[in-house]
Structure 1
Amino acid sequence: MSNKQSFLQKAVAYDLLSSYYKYSNPHLHDYYYHKHLKSLEKATQPMRYEQRNAVAPSYVRILHAAPKAPAIDVYVNEMRILKNFVYKGNSGYLSLPPGMYQIDIYPTGQTTSTILSRKVALESGKSFTVAAAGANDSLKMLTLEDYPYVPQNEAKVRFIHLSYDTPSVDIAVKDGDVVFANLPFRKVSEYLNLYPMKVDFEVRTAGTKDVALSLPNTDFQADTSSTIYIIGLNQDQPALETLTLTP
């Protein structure tokens, strides 16, 4: 997605939120309408990029999001960094020099045959989540770039669909409009900046009002970037749920 498309998508989402709060909360209505106008402005302007410090470290965390996969051991450049790592486990960020790394995942206690194996490029000054996701016969290792920066006194959130037996979903405000539409398995939404508060979200089957998962009282703290992972199974156990990670 281009930067222009990204800002246009955000402008639509902020417009929906502004309309949602028009009568119930004039302050939030004005806040999101201002964000809507800012996003439209940015969509028509060239992006400016900050230069990153070439010697800044990289940050990477490992997430076990495969509900039917066994406990695993994780090796980075043939060095074990995680042992007996189970479903829903996350390592927290590890600081590494930027460069190319070999990540190998084995069943716990074994080193003969990997479950997953791939090279991952970690760039200077950037943060990444490496997630194992999918059914046992089609596991994938996903490298997801995280963006921890948040404008002062704001919050932001994105959603990542990692439930392999759940069809594409819409993320919506409860009983309200869709914020992120048609998010399929293994795909990532844009970030949405929010006023720090609690929001009732719903995960719906895409294009319908059918609620697959309710997320009541989702709390967004100031100066915090949140990623909400949709994990688990829609038709089996463990059940469909969310896992929220913040830097």
Structure 2
Amino acid sequence: MSDTRSFLQTAKTYDLLSSYYQYSNPKLLEYYSQKHLKNLKKAAQQLKYEQMKITLPARVRILHAASAAPSIDIHVNGVRIFKNLSFKASSGYMSFPAGGHQLDIYLSGEARSPLYSLKMEFEGGASYTVASAYANESLTLLPFIDLPFVPPCEGKFRFIHLSPSMSPVDIAVKNGDVVFEEVAFQQASDYLTIHPMIVDFDVREAGTKHNISFLPNMEFNENITSTLYLIGLNGETNRLETLTLSP
């Protein structure tokens, strides 16, 4: 059920209650009448928002996060759109109509058989980063929704775990408290608002004090949303790296 229909059904329920108390209880009549009107207003606002999402395009970018993998092309609906992306390279955002789309990974310059295919539903007005990564020793595409809004004069950040050989991790301030708990491979943490500053992080084996890696001098600026991708540490790369992208 859409949010619009939910608000309309709630409004109908309050309308029935206000009618029931019309002659027996003026206070409840007024109370349920106000509830009825508020939900009608919410339904109208939600309908406007849903109609706007249909007309707005989605923004999509690609990140090549599969260490030791060759350069790749990404085809969208059979057309090569993102070309010759090497490891740690990312494209800019491109706009696509809302709705279903077919994404295929190819070795750069080839177009015979895709290495991996993904059908995605793009929501109008939404922003996505689609990351190539290894899963079970094969390339895959992992979509993540980006939320670029930041409170004024603040920063915002999250971590995404794309290191296939690494167990779930905790992200902690160096020698301090855990900020994000049990971020597993292919998962994103929640966003966290932060004052502009430079922070040193420890990447720990989840639930322990054992440090897997140290991430020094992570800088967060005001009015910027940052996503820090944990990459590397597969069969051929023994070094954990961090790649930061902002909308």
CA distance in 2, matches of 1:217, 1:178: 17
Given that 2:152 and 2:223 are in contact with CA atoms closer than 8 Å, whether structure 1 keeps it comes out as: yes
Matched residue type, 1:210: H
Give the TM-score, by structure 2 length. 0.76
Among 30, 49, 52, the residue aligned to 1:51: 49
How far has the Cα of 1:110 moved from its partner? 1.6
Query: How many residue pairs end up in the alignment?
Result: 200
SS in structure 1 at match of 2:137: helix
How far has the Cα of 1:119 moved from its partner? 1.2
Given that 2:72 and 2:106 are in contact with CA atoms closer than 8 Å, whether structure 1 keeps it comes out as: yes
* Cα deviation digits, residues 204-243 of structure 1 (max 9, x gap): 1112222222111211110111100000116642621100
CA distance in 2, matches of 1:218, 1:198: 5
Given that 1:67 and 1:238 are in contact with CA atoms closer than 8 Å, whether structure 2 keeps it comes out as: no
Matched residue type, 1:242: T
Do the aligned partners of residues 114 and 234 (structure 1) sit closer, same or farther apart at CA in structure 2, a change above 3 Å counting? closer
> Identity over the aligned pairs, expressed in percent?
50
SS in structure 2 at match of 1:139: strand
How far has the Cα of 1:82 moved from its partner? 2.2
* Structure 1 residue ranges (4+ consecutive) displaced by more than 6 angstroms after TM superposition: none
Do the aligned partners of residues 87 and 68 (structure 1) sit closer, same or farther apart at CA in structure 2, a change above 3 Å counting? same
Residue in structure 2 matched with residue 86 of structure 1 by the alignment: 86
SS in structure 2 at match of 1:90: coil
Given that 1:234 and 1:240 are in contact with CA atoms closer than 8 Å, whether structure 2 keeps it comes out as: no
Given that 1:68 and 1:136 are in contact with CA atoms closer than 8 Å, whether structure 2 keeps it comes out as: no
Residue in structure 1 matched with residue 108 of structure 2 by the alignment: 108
How far has the Cα of 1:140 moved from its partner? 2.1
Residue in structure 1 matched with residue 33 of structure 2 by the alignment: none
How far has the Cα of 1:83 moved from its partner? 2.2
Larger deviation, residues 134-143 vs 104-113: 134-143
Residue in structure 1 matched with residue 199 of structure 2 by the alignment: 199
Residue in structure 2 matched with residue 178 of structure 1 by the alignment: 178
Residue in structure 1 matched with residue 142 of structure 2 by the alignment: 142
Residue in structure 1 matched with residue 211 of structure 2 by the alignment: 211
Given that 2:68 and 2:236 are in contact with CA atoms closer than 8 Å, whether structure 1 keeps it comes out as: no
CA distance in 2, matches of 1:234, 1:213: 15
Given that 2:105 and 2:115 are in contact with CA atoms closer than 8 Å, whether structure 1 keeps it comes out as: yes
Q: Does residue 62 of structure 1 match 2:62? A: yes
Given that 1:66 and 1:135 are in contact with CA atoms closer than 8 Å, whether structure 2 keeps it comes out as: no
Residue in structure 1 matched with residue 156 of structure 2 by the alignment: 156
CA distance in 2, matches of 1:238, 1:88: 16
Structure 1: 5+ residue runs without aligned partners?
Answer: 1-47
How far has the Cα of 1:133 moved from its partner? 0.8
Given that 2:67 and 2:234 are in contact with CA atoms closer than 8 Å, whether structure 1 keeps it comes out as: no
Residue in structure 2 matched with residue 190 of structure 1 by the alignment: 190
Give the TM-score, by structure 1 length. 0.76
Structure 2: 5+ residue runs without aligned partners?
Answer: 1-44
Matched residue type, 2:49: Q
How far has the Cα of 1:96 moved from its partner? 1.7
Residue in structure 2 matched with residue 99 of structure 1 by the alignment: 99
Paired residues for 1:112-123 under 5 Å: 112-123=112-123
CA distance in 1, matches of 2:73, 2:90: 13
RMSD of aligned residue pairs (Cα, Å)? 1.9
Residue in structure 2 matched with residue 231 of structure 1 by the alignment: 231
CA distance in 2, matches of 1:125, 1:135: 29
Given that 2:172 and 2:178 are in contact with CA atoms closer than 8 Å, whether structure 1 keeps it comes out as: yes
Larger deviation, residues 50-59 vs 178-187: 50-59
Residue in structure 1 matched with residue 72 of structure 2 by the alignment: 72
